[in-house]
Amino acid sequence: MPAPALITLIVGDEELLVDRAVAAVVASAREVDPEVDVHDLVPAQVGLSTLVEVTSPSLFGDRRVVVLRSSQDLTKDLAATVVDYLSSPADDVNLVLTHVGGAKGKALLQAATKAGAHRVDCKGPTKGPERVAFVKGEFSAAGRQITGDAAQALVDAVGTELREIAAACTQLIADTEGRVDATAVARYHSGKAEASGFTVADRTVEGRLPEALEQLRWSLAVGTAPVLINSALAGAVRGIAVAAQPPRGMSEADLAKRAKVPPWKMRGLRQQARGWNVRGVTRAMAVVAETDALIKGGGRDPEYALERAVIEIARARGIR
């Protein structure tokens, strides 16, 4: 693996692809020097002294990777300091700038381009065929194959969120062997509660608490990652939020796009949304956010956090 460029510019707002691009630079730097120091910073963590410290040449020749996330949000003074640095970068620092693109922070974007930065574009797929191509790419990268109709079936089952699609691919790759076809995808997603947590999520937003808890315990027992179950809960609540009070005059296709689900799922969402109101949806969204933090390190027991989430979300359906 070649050494990374002194300056890497990652442009786009698809977080999964941005994270992967940053990870690739760090991995490349560690191939050259396993002891490389990595400073991964967001604008709120960056002051002038910090910026100068992490980008100054090392007295001992130690290499560093400095990642400045959301560089378009840097203050004017800090952005100017980075622009000055770009004109004469340190030889032992690999600077990575992430930028969403657009007009904000455009001067920094232009300066990095002028300085010869290696650019990585991270625009996520927005159309169905692009998502199918993404699924095929995930399988190919893992040394596996998936048929075209199977890739389409997977996208239809999971929705439009790229992280959820990637997570579903990872789990399907881990739990199957050989070439994956549409039959395998259908069997995996409709026949196993552990596949995605969708069954848990559906029963929860429908207010069928005993069944939801039963499905949750089964999913956890067979090893489903808690983050995938909560992701399914988040998707279900998001869909309910759209279907419960659709904007007047919005087409079915636009509603599906807003809910981030395939159009054919909207009818089911409308049925599930019966009994929900704004207060309940607001409460359910808060529960999902709290649970996400708990299962990603903020709590001691992810399984307990999920059980609490299922109970609270199911009860939120009845809030008046």
Total Cβ atoms within 10 A of residue 32: 13
Output the pLDDT for position 126.
86
Rg (CA), the chain: 23
Question: Binning pLDDT at 50, 70 and 90, where does residue 293 land?
Answer: confident
**Which residues pair with residue 98 across a beta bridge?**
10
What six digits make up the tokens of 204?
């929860």
Name the pTM for this structure.
0.60
**Interval 96-113: pLDDT, tens:** 999 998 889 999 999 999
Neighbours of 218 (CB within 10 A): 15
Tens digit of pLDDT for each residue in 219-253? 887 677 888 889 889 988 988 888 877 767 677 77
**CA 100/CA 110 separation, integer angstroms:** 13
Which single residue is written with the structure tokens 């890739």? Answer: 151
CA–chain centroid gap for 191, Å, is 26
Q: Cβ distance 160 to 260 under 8 Å?
A: yes
pLDDT at 286: 93
Give the model's confidence band at 187: pLDDT under 50 very low, under 70 low, under 90 confident, else very high. Answer: confident
- Mean residue pLDDT of the chain comes to 86
